[in-house]
Amino acid sequence: MANFTTHIGVGTVVSGALATVTVAADLVAPENIVAVTLAGVLGSVLPDIDLKDSRPARAIFAGLAVFFSFAVLFSLERKYSIAEMLVLWLGTLLLVRYGARAVFFRFSYHRGIWHSLLALVFCALLTAWVYCQPLQRDPAVAWLAAGFLAIGFLTHLLLDELYSVDVMDTRIKASFGTALKLVDTRHWGHTIAMALATALLVLVAPPTKGFVDNISSRALWIGLHRRLLPEGNKWFAGVAWIKSRSSAQGDVESLPLGRTEGAMTTGSIVRAPERPATGAPVPADAGR
């Protein structure tokens, strides 16, 4: 399998490329692009969480411990004294960092359920819920982060499978097929538990309409098409000529560069102005 350095390096490159396209499409505000990009980098090492005493496992559980401890602290800040909040914060930190980690490794093994497409769906749904609920991001931004994580997760699985093929020695290693699989057929109990957890997350996941509307927007893809390559450069002269002819024929609409209708430019879907309730008085300056 690929080592940690390879996974984090490739995951960072893939997430950076996705972030570049996202910025070019003007989908989210600058303060959100960092958050969704980090989700992609996390996804690129997340499958190795079941590798005991590995760097990914230590880093992920340390990060989860910090996240949940501060989530508890901020949610209870007005209910308890400073001393009580310190105890709750430290207790949550230690419980997740050591207790949850010990329980997790008691029931998991490497190349098990976490190296599966079912785990990818579970982690994507969990990411969408975390970004929407504890982190209070707009549902569209939450699903964008889920998409970044899913692509990073899939990149990890594909790399592990590629490293199972010895091209120079023209042979396939015994590990081939254990990284990229639909479910874990060796331990059906793990698969069933993951499937139930995934079904539960489907019930509490944020709505997808805003995200789907933005991603499927024709204006978004037209804007990306226009910004794909520079115009007026000799290296891309042929492409520029094709684009100019396409625009002249009306195939590409004239839109502001990087600006799409209904974009998540403020970190959330641009909401339509609220309409006054039926029978509400009309402002005196209406129509001026």
Phi, psi (rounded to 5 degrees) for 77 = -65, -25
The pLDDT, as a whole number, for residue 107 is: 76
Answer yes or no: pTM beyond 0.75: no
The pLDDT, as a whole number, for residue 250 is: 45
Ordered per-residue pLDDT tens for the chain, 288 residues: 667 788 888 989 999 999 988 888 878 887 788 889 999 998 998 888 888 777 778 888 888 888 888 878 877 777 888 888 899 999 999 999 889 888 888 877 777 888 899 999 999 999 999 999 888 889 999 999 999 999 999 999 998 888 765 434 444 555 555 678 899 888 899 899 999 999 999 999 999 998 888 888 888 788 777 777 776 555 555 555 555 555 444 444 433 333 344 445 444 434 444 445 555 554 555 444
- Residue 59: which of 70, 46, 71 has the closest Cα? 46
Q: How many CB atoms lie within 10 A of CB 65?
A: 20
DSSP 199-244: HHHHHHSPP-HHHHHHHT-HHHHHHHHHHSS-SS-GGGHHHHHHHH
The pLDDT, as a whole number, for residue 259 is: 36
